[in-house]
Structure 1
């Protein structure tokens, strides 16, 4: 068994699915995990799941508690980090190994990555584009482990729904600059259709539109109540440096519902064809939506694809790539 530490990036309540799911898998497998909230308070250590603890006062914990753990523990201690901006502050002198799990390819992160790579022992990447970039610049062990589906969402258990005369075309995720508003506006012009957007503002402001509904942020465990009413699920991303390297978690969640999924030409979504329909341009996107409203396609094959790409599957991939002495 091992002890894993996740340095302060964001509070556990709002944590991204990938780190939260992977750390939870480590804890479920018997390892001890310490997750540090970004918000600093005097709250005591909290066990949010068996063997998974949230640290609310990182500065005190890393300077006072971690050295005690390090001296007393017979288990290897590792850091799991997904933010290279934290590289300079990692307590790597108190641990046995460091993993850099690169979730996104943000250009503003690149200047911080050399220091991160100096401290890392292993790199994991969420997409082939990120994987290839690191292969060009680093001799570290580098592995491609994509995102996955959380079966506890129970999207794969949703009842089948009949085609609706008033279809809902759904997008869930951050309302960010890479979301192609024009595509959604064109989709909203389809007869009787409503476009529904579920997610927080992230660098872009919601734009009022008569047939686009903005529902803001909804707790992750409640998303199935909305996805079940979607007729078609949308990934209307602009093609840019960020999205070319994106492996959208929403793609697995959409597919788990059995609903048809239309995406712009993202390489990672293209790799999920034929379960996802790929649009080469805006007109093609709207045409594919119209087609799937009439011919939803094979829901069961989509569900089975998602169930063969769960976070548990990803955890086993990670374990396979980690050296034995990291975990025992």
Structure 2
């Protein structure tokens, strides 16, 4: 890892108004799991910084010697996977993570770096450092998720005090956090429009049955009962569910003959899958874990040219539902009724033109550029103030 150095071969600290040379991200999400907000933003930031993406530990059986595994995912992207032995208590794990991260920082001779947090839990091993910039990209209310650690709320309060700047993954989350930090901005889900627009032109096999699709993580937020009832009410429709099943028992998922589980698919494969769909679904339950979410899939479905029926997620209702781009359903019967209306829409061309006009104002490139400007403003030097002596 080459750092920028001065003539005396000493690392140079961050230049005001320029992002630090190294960006160290702490995340609760695996880089290779589902391609979503962190990957979109950080891949773009890695064009001007060296990115180290530190995941949560992997616990291995046997007498594993604690260490980091490094994986390259791009010229300037390194995934860091802590490997710890099974059976450790919380304090033992934390102590080991502190030492591993200490060795990491020393080994890479970090002198010009920023910290970017997705999880406050990483403070337990990273709080003793002084980065040039600390960013908290608060994409979810993690304390409301299943199996969330009890300490996460206190650690988030600590992180909000340490952070120089805070971004939120949606407008509703911004409203909930805006009084907890003096430099906070809402950056809702963006889109790689060209990628998903491929679904409009890709040729799909002609089919007699309507296909309703969903992609994403199938977890405690997913409304299993709604999908089961929809499948029973419309046996002539096929429901395609794409994505990994986590934090719930797979045996609890409905097994109707017209429900298909494909498992995980890559980001590159999604447009081809969606080319065969007639309508997209966002079937989430309304509870604490979905109160502040801003599903990235909403604009992605629309970019693919698909009509969408969604649960009444606040950041979907505003703006997509209010603008008539997404239909909002309350239960299985309502979802079916709204789906039938969308599938028989007579003005789809006009609707799609309005959707495209709206989406043209939204992209991950624009989001990343705007975030970068906000971060540079934090690093910019304060304007000099000169006192003048007024002669009387």
TM-score bin (small chain): 0.7 to 0.9
Alignment of structure 1 residues 216-235 onto 2, 5 Å: 216-235=263-282
The TM-score normalised by the length of structure 2 is: 0.73
Deviations 1:261-316 (A, max 9, x none): 11111111111232212224443221110111111723344345445322112112
Alignment of 1:21 with 2:40, yes or no, is yes
Displacement of 1:242: 2.1
Number of residue pairs aligned between Structure 1 and Structure 2: 323
Deviations 1:53-96 (A, max 9, x none): 2334587773235246556x5x4x21111111222222551412
Preserved contact between residue 92 and residue 119 of structure 1 (Cα < 8 Å): no
Alignment of 1:190 with 2:234, yes or no, is yes
Alignment of structure 1 residues 146-295 onto 2, 5 Å: 146-151=188-193, 153-156=195-198, 158-159=200-201, 165-188=208-231, 189-190=233-234, 192-204=236-248, 205=250, 206-270=253-317, 271-273=319-321, 274-295=324-345
**Against the structure 1 CA distance between its residues 176 and 27, is the aligned structure 2 distance closer, same or farther, given a 3 Å change threshold?**
same
Alignment of structure 1 residues 120-139 onto 2, 5 Å: 120-136=163-179, 138-139=180-181
Preserved contact between residue 35 and residue 53 of structure 1 (Cα < 8 Å): yes
Show the counterpart of 1:51.
76
**Against the structure 1 CA distance between its residues 231 and 161, is the aligned structure 2 distance closer, same or farther, given a 3 Å change threshold?**
farther
Displacement of 1:191: 5.5
The TM-score normalised by the length of structure 1 is: 0.86
What is the alpha-carbon distance in structure 2 between the residues aligned to residue 31 and residue 66 of structure 1?
16
What is the alpha-carbon distance in structure 2 between the residues aligned to residue 18 and residue 326 of structure 1?
24
Alignment of structure 1 residues 300-319 onto 2, 5 Å: 300-319=353-372
Show the counterpart of 1:4.
23
What is the alpha-carbon distance in structure 1 between the residues aligned to residue 371 and residue 208 of structure 2?
45
Alignment of structure 1 residues 77-92 onto 2, 5 Å: 77-92=113-128
Preserved contact between residue 78 and residue 326 of structure 1 (Cα < 8 Å): no
**Against the structure 1 CA distance between its residues 91 and 69, is the aligned structure 2 distance closer, same or farther, given a 3 Å change threshold?**
farther
Preserved contact between residue 123 and residue 143 of structure 1 (Cα < 8 Å): yes
Preserved contact between residue 256 and residue 304 of structure 1 (Cα < 8 Å): no
Show the counterpart of 1:31.
49
Preserved contact between residue 164 and residue 231 of structure 1 (Cα < 8 Å): no
**Who wins on radius of gyration, i.e. which is larger?**
2
**Against the structure 1 CA distance between its residues 203 and 55, is the aligned structure 2 distance closer, same or farther, given a 3 Å change threshold?**
closer
**Against the structure 1 CA distance between its residues 17 and 99, is the aligned structure 2 distance closer, same or farther, given a 3 Å change threshold?**
same
Show the counterpart of 1:113.
156
What is the alpha-carbon distance in structure 1 between the residues aligned to residue 34 and residue 242 of structure 2?
17
Q: Give the stretch that moved more between structures: 83-92 or 295-304.
A: 295-304
Deviations 1:140-198 (A, max 9, x none): 31111112223463444532779964101111112222222232233322262111111
Displacement of 1:232: 0.6
What is the alpha-carbon distance in structure 2 between the residues aligned to residue 280 and residue 8 of structure 1?
33
Q: Give the stretch that moved more between structures: 120-129 or 159-168.
A: 159-168
Q: Give the stretch that moved more between structures: 253-262 or 60-69.
A: 60-69
Preserved contact between residue 183 and residue 286 of structure 1 (Cα < 8 Å): no
For the aligned residue pairs, the C-alpha RMSD in angstroms reads 2.9
* Secondary structure at 1:98 match in 2: strand
Q: What 5-or-longer segments of structure 1 have no aligned partner?
A: none
Displacement of 1:42: 6.0
Q: Give the stretch that moved more between structures: 141-150 or 158-167.
A: 158-167
What is the alpha-carbon distance in structure 2 between the residues aligned to residue 161 and residue 229 of structure 1?
8
Q: Give the stretch that moved more between structures: 194-203 or 254-263.
A: 194-203
